Amino acid sequence: MVWLILVLAVVAGMAFIRLAPSDVSRWHRPIGEAENTDGEGWSGRVVQSSPGLLSDLHQGMLALPRTELLSGGVGEGRLTYITRSKLMGFPDYTTIEQDGDQIKLYARLRFGKSDMGVNGKRLDGLIERARAKRAER
């Protein structure tokens, strides 16, 4: 009986992680001050803006597996995405924001304390792919 209760608790927890709604007002917010750094469960990057870069970053995010736009748009100058982990479906939120001559990127987890560097790697890969795409033109 204890095992059944334990299994049901794990299944309920997994369902909550997968099905919990994302509050746009909580995740789609201005980034504020930003720098190239990683914290516990989050990462930030700042890159010099150039014409079309925000759009390239947007297309790069949409090309990532298990990633969808939560809110915003290129014309608005701020976009927020949800990227879910493959196995458990843990959501990470990434906001990309045009701020004058800079583009700020901020990625963070929703559940837990450590992202094991996943958010920083996602941002670095996104920036690298956007730069490579621009170099091909």
Taking a C-beta distance cutoff of 8 angstroms, is the pair 100, 48 a contact?
A: no
pLDDT at 54: 97
Could you tell me which of 55, 91, 61, 92 has the C-alpha nearest to residue 73? 55
Kindly tell me the number of DSSP H helices and DSSP E strands found in the chain. Answer: 4, 6
Between 28 and 18, the higher pLDDT residue: 28
Residues in the chain, how many?
Answer: 137
| Residue 59 main-chain phi, psi, to 5 deg | -65, -35
Q: Output the six-digit token pair for 120.
A: 């920083």
Each residue of 19-37: pLDDT tens digit? 788 999 999 999 999 899 9
pLDDT band at 56 (very low <50, low <70, confident <90, very high): very high
Question: For 23-136, CATH number?
Answer: 3.30.310.80
Q: Output the six-digit token pair for 71.
A: 């809110």
